[in-house]
């Protein structure tokens, strides 16, 4: 068949196609390609015919064949990109859109879809560039304005993002996605009540929009309205019971609200589902429940793999060799450089770092802090930078440009965490420390800092990171933490004038039914005793009072401690006799606070990192006899100590002596040991060796 005849037959097929005679068009085109496989137009028309009848696989196949030929039309390349986006092939789609516009020049649809492809790849800076160019061509597109807003939100530019959501809604007041995503940005801006109104507008238009229900619940949790959050999760369960992470988030909210119905069965179901490969709970929610370490790791791997995959291929190059002849540069990254437990623990260690050997860089991921602790933390660094408004990619690039050798993630997978900074490789060595008591489940975090009590060698398999074991306890502490001079009276603290005072100042969500059962039996066994708890929400207070009543305990024996400044809180602990730890997620900072205040802590050592921190602290301060291994022993010892005032007084005297004599509260010693860990990590890097498990000896002084 001559070229002119082929062209005529393709033109005839196109006329058939345009007139709706698709059968005749397809038959003619198949004859053409059977005789000449090099006609791009024939494949393009066949692709459009297949696409019109929803045969997307054949459509994409024909478009690929057309794209491989030199005379492929730019429109075909555009539609190939669209098909590839639908299949999750965003990299290939971006290339197809780029080729299309190289041939045809920039046009709105091509730029817009190029932005969508970059967004799907997490390349938000490139997406923003594409969307901005598309906006110049067609600013009155609601989808474009909404996508611009989404991209700006991903780049942590919440204010400008909000403006573009407003533009999208001006163009279409019924645009559900813009109302919904506007709510998440308002939440990020600290405008939770307005966020709830935005979610409500979205749900009025689309009552079955499950992501909006989930985001509304998350905002309610931020506002400490846990009962209302629980109601949202119940609504999701009614509409879409198999929603990813729903079961865990629902139970997490229920624990904050003190709603325990079916707790044990729910935990067992969530564990079974995670072990079966389902996305039943986010990792942090699992910490407060009896969940095996293997399940914790599996949950973290699945969550991070989906939400925060490694992006090192997008990062700038790391230096081939470590930098010689200068101090080791340590970068600490946190949203919590303010009056927060992480800073309360770490600040003195930062101040004690050896500045002849280490250069400290602080990367503040949260809003600027105006409190005394925030100012103290900032002053402890050689260089302190507010980066909360910058993208994860930009922060990682800043760290690389600053020559950070070891990046320390103080958030892990807690609220406000930004693991994508480390997914982009902020430093040659990256460390999970202090803020998150478990594995982050990813390959780009090289080490987790722990101790012998927290992680035994045969448990290393449950951590994606290599384990660094410090002597004593892994937990940093401040040996200058101020205790207020005046503690007031028991009555001023809301306590009865006489009787034994058990205390637990842990967050309410750590209080699980099994530990509460024990506490109530202890109160029964010790007449006149009370349990002093940290006040949470009014819902939790009411619920726990009801749980006490159901166990035959007068709710008046639960005394609620209002939140107050740390120094005053430490002082009032003088009125307590014994701190009763929670089981599955121990007291961490709160246990250290109690011990620093002179209050003995009774703990139960569990099978996971978060359930062994109490034991770690007590062993480091020489009070091993307060570490129990069985629930019955925990209960018996609590009762025995309450009935043995002399034994308890002797424990308090030992605690007072050990507070300065044992290593737990020796901040300078801890700094030396943490520095030894950093140097051991870096030595392996300098020798060209991969990360490996490390043990720091107690000879480090």
Q: Which residues pair with 451 in a beta bridge?
A: 470
The answer to the question of residue 546 being in a domain is: yes
What pLDDT score does 17 carry?
A: 84
What pLDDT score does 318 carry?
A: 60
What pLDDT score does 491 carry?
A: 95
For residues 453 and 565, state if they share a domain.
Answer: no
pTM for the model stands at 0.92
Contact at 8 Å (CB) between 401 and 317? no
For residues 461 and 566, state if they share a domain.
Answer: no
The answer to the question of residue 466 being in a domain is: yes
Q: Which residues pair with 579 in a beta bridge?
A: 503, 601
For residues 429 and 507, state if they share a domain.
Answer: no
Domain boundary among 470, 489, 524: 470
The answer to the question of residue 513 being in a domain is: yes
- Phi/psi at 659 (nearest 5 deg)? -55, -35
Q: CB burial class (10 A; 0-12, 13-18, 19+) of residue 646?
A: exposed
What pLDDT score does 222 carry?
A: 95
For residues 460 and 511, state if they share a domain.
Answer: no
The helix/strand count (H/E) of the chain reads as 30, 14
d(CA 551, CA 518): 10
d(CA 516, CA 355): 47
The answer to the question of residue 398 being in a domain is: yes
The answer to the question of residue 455 being in a domain is: yes
Kindly report the CATH number assigned to the domain that includes residue 537: 3.40.50.2000
d(CA 429, CA 439): 16
Domain boundary among 470, 486, 517: 470
For residues 538 and 659, state if they share a domain.
Answer: yes
For residues 590 and 464, state if they share a domain.
Answer: no
What pLDDT score does 312 carry?
A: 63
- Phi/psi at 528 (nearest 5 deg)? 80, -5
d(CA 525, CA 216): 44
d(CA 533, CA 559): 6
Kindly report the CATH number assigned to the domain that includes residue 413: 3.40.50.11380
User: In the structure encoding, which two tokens stand for residue 341, read together?
Assistant: 């437990």
For residues 353 and 455, state if they share a domain.
Answer: yes
For residues 659 and 516, state if they share a domain.
Answer: yes
For residues 448 and 592, state if they share a domain.
Answer: no
Domain boundary among 429, 450, 470: 470
The answer to the question of residue 367 being in a domain is: yes
The answer to the question of residue 359 being in a domain is: yes
For residues 568 and 519, state if they share a domain.
Answer: yes
Contact at 8 Å (CB) between 143 and 177? no
Structurally, the chain folds into a number of domains equal to: 2
For residues 506 and 632, state if they share a domain.
Answer: yes
d(CA 74, CA 52): 19
Task: Give me the residues of the chain with pLDDT under 70, please.
Answer: 1-4, 312-324
| Domain ranges, residue 656 | 501-665
For residues 431 and 534, state if they share a domain.
Answer: no
The answer to the question of residue 28 being in a domain is: no
Q: Is 451 helix (H, G, I), strand (E, B) or coil?
A: strand
Contact at 8 Å (CB) between 694 and 468? yes
What pLDDT score does 319 carry?
A: 58
Give the N- to C-terminal CA distance of the chain in Å, as an integer.
Answer: 88
Tell me the pairing of strands 447-451 and 530-534: unpaired
């Amino acid at each position: 068949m001559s070229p002119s005849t082929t062209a005529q037959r393709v033109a005839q097929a196109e006329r058939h196609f345009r007139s709706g005679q698709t059968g005749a068009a397809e038959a003619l085109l198949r004859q053409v390609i059977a005789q000449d496989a090099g006609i791009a137009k024939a494949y393009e028309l066949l692709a459009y015919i297949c696409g019109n009848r929803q045969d997307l696989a054949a459509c994409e196949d024909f478009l690929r064949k057309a794209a491989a030929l030199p005379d492929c039309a730019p429109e075909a390349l555009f539609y190939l990109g669209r098909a590839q986006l639908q299949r999750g092939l965003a990299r290939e789609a971006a290339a197809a859109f780029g080729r299309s516009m190289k041939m045809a020049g920039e046009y709105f649809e091509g730029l817009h879809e190029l932005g969508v492809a970059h967004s799907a790849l997490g390349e938000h800076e490139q997406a923003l560039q594409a969307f901005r160019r598309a906006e110049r061509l067609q600013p009155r597109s609601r989808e474009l304005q909404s996508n611009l807003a989404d991209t700006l939100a991903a780049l942590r530019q919440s204010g400008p993002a909000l403006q573009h959501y407003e533009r999208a809604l001006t163009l279409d007041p019924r645009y559900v996605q813009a109302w919904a995503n506007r709510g998440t940005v308002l939440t990020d801006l600290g405008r939770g009540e307005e966020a709830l109104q935005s979610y409500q507008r979205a749900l009025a238009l689309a009552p079955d929009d499950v992501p909006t229900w989930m985001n509304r619940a998350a905002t309610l949790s931020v506002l400490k309205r846990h009962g209302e959050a629980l109601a949202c999760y119940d609504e999701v369960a009614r509409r879409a019971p198999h929603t990813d992470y729903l079961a865990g988030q629902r139970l997490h909210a229920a624990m904050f609200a003190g709603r325990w119905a079916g707790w044990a069965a729910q935990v067992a179901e969530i564990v079974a589902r995670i072990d079966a490969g389902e996305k039943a709970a986010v990792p942090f929610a699992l910490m407060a429940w009896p969940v095996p370490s293997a399940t914790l790791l599996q949950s973290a791997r699945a969550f991070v793999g989906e939400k925060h995959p490694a992006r090192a291929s997008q990062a700038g190059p790391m230096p081939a060799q470590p930098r010689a002849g200068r101090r080791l540069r340590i970068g600490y990254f946190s949203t919590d450089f303010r009056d927060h437990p992480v800073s309360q623990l770490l600040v003195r260690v930062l101040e004690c770092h050896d500045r002849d050997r280490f250069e400290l860089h602080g990367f503040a991921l949260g809003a600027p802090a105006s409190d005394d602790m925030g100012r103290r933390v900032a002053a402890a660094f050689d260089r302190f930078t507010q980066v909360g408004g910058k993208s994860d990619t930009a922060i990682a690039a800043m760290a690389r440009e600053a020559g950070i050798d070891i990046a320390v993630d103080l958030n892990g997978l807690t609220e406000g965490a930004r693991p994508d900074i480390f997914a982009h490789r902020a430093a040659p060595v990256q460390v999970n420390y202090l803020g998150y008591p478990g594995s982050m489940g990813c390959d780009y975090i090289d080490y987790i800092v722990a101790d012998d009590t927290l992680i035994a060698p045969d448990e290393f398999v449950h951590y994606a990171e290599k384990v660094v074991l410090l002597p004593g306890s892994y937990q940093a502490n401040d040996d200058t933490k101020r205790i207020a001079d005046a503690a007031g009276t028991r009555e001023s603290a809301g306590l009865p004038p006489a009787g034994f005072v058990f205390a637990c100042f842990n967050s309410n969500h750590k209080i699980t039914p099994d530990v509460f059962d024990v506490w109530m039996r202890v109160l029964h066994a010790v007449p006149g005793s009370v349990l002093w708890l940290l006040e949470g929400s009014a819902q939790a207070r009411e619920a726990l009072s009801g749980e006490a009543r159901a166990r035959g305990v007068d709710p008046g024996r639960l005394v609620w401690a209002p939140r107050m400044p740390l120094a005053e809180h430490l002082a009032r602990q003088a009125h307590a006799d014994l701190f009763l730890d929670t089981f599955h997620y121990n007291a961490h900072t709160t246990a250290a606070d109690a011990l620093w205040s002179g209050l003995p802590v009774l703990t139960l050592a569990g099978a996971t990192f978060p359930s062994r921190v109490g034991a770690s602290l007590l062993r480091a301060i020489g009070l091993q006899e307060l570490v129990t291994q069985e629930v019955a022993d925990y209960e018996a010892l609590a009762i025995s100590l309450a009935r043995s005032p002399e034994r308890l007084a002797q424990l308090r005297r030992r605690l007072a002596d050990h507070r300065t004599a044992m290593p737990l509260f020796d901040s300078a010693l801890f700094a030396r040991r943490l520095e030894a860990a950093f140097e051991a990590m870096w030595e392996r890097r300098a020798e060209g060796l991969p990360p490996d498990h490390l043990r720091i000896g107690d000879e480090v002084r």
